[in-house]
Amino acid sequence: MVLQFIYSNQDFVTDLSQTGKNGPGVVPSTPTRFDSTLQAGWRDRMDRGLFRYHLGDLQTRILPGPCGFVAQLNVQRGVERRKPQEILSIQQEFNAGQFNFNRINPEEIILEMIKETRPQEDQPCRIIVIVNVSPLEFGHCLFVPDPSLCLPQVLTEFAIRVGIESVLLSSDPGFRVGFNSLGAFASVNHLHLHGYFLAHQLKIESVPVKPLVPERGFYRLEEFPACFLFYTESEHLDEVTKAICQVTDLLVDGDVAHNLFMTRGSLPGDCTQDEKGRSSRKGVRVALWPRISCFGAKEESAINVALCELAGHLPFKNKHDYDRSTEKDVVEIIQRFLLPDEDFLKLEQQLVTHLMGL
């Protein structure tokens, strides 16, 4: 019997803050019911040997430099993880003959998330939370909208909403959720998002951004690596979720690969924000990187540039690269997967026009 986790908007944490530069730096807070349920279920599966390897405390260091990259050594993930599927198109159809989440061991399911709805609202789609058996970090799990629907790895409004709501359900500023499209290092063509805990601040949480269509929560982050950014608090969730989906739909229609990363973040502003404003984590920042597509086998470089790497969290697959890589090395790797500036700015204008016209 799958554990059901029933929640409502009343369970969202809206008064969170974060202190410290790097390192844990998290204001102590009582874990929410969501945190406790997810973490207990994850630890239970780890203790029962359902993972491909035991994840202990990962060796971690902050690379010197303005980007503040958080590097971690995770050799076993590079060795033990399931071989990624061959992806040939961003719009590739679901293939029941390949691995998908209908084939997992049922014991890998931690819980089923169900949101209480008002009578006038549609009934929610089923979403299950399963352990990632090749974890990146503590609590690494997958959010899978009703697996029986056999949806390909293309974001839906419902999936985006559940991702943001999951961040809001946690009292831990280090809980993040993300998505890799096909052509952007997604390993399985079956709709899913990643969630995990990382007890380190990331620069993306608090750097100033440029307004693009602020009335729809749409901004541009100009720090490296530049990305589009949405910001929402719980009361604006409907409008911003819809705007994000309108943008990702446009990217899919244009065959533009993309990565998305959801994290607690400060209100978009400028450098004049005071310390309290910079440490506030009342809302959620949703970073979206359009990028150069990467098809076929994954490139065997020091890092694979996907959702966490773009956000500043770098899981290294071998000790040599972990020990010796500099910020300059990482920037050079990431740069190979980013759109040229001219293409990025052209896409920006297209997205602005699209959002303002809807």
Could you list the active site residues?
192
What is the rounded distance in angstroms from the CA atom of residue 219 to the CA atom of residue 174? 22
What is the rounded distance in angstroms from the CA atom of residue 271 to the CA atom of residue 223? 13
Locate 72 and state its tokens: 């971690």
What is the rounded distance in angstroms from the CA atom of residue 78 to the CA atom of residue 29? 33
- Give buried/exposed letters for 278-289 (b at 16+ CB in 10 A, else e): bbbbbbbbbbbb
According to DSSP, residue 144 is labeled E
Quickly list DSSP for 253-304.
Answer: HTT-EEEEEEEEEPPS--TT--HHHHHB-SEEEEEEEEE----SSPP-SSS-
According to DSSP, residue 235 is labeled G
- How far CA 99 is from CA of 81, 181, 272, 281, 303, in Å, comes to 13, 17, 50, 37, 24
* Cβ neighbours of residue 138 closer than 8 Å, sequence gap 6 or more: 39, 42, 55, 196, 197
Q: Taking a C-beta distance cutoff of 8 angstroms, is the pair 127, 143 a contact?
A: yes
Beta bridge partners of 175: 197
What is the rounded distance in angstroms from the CA atom of residue 128 to the CA atom of residue 166? 12
Q: Cα 3 to chain center, whole Å?
A: 24
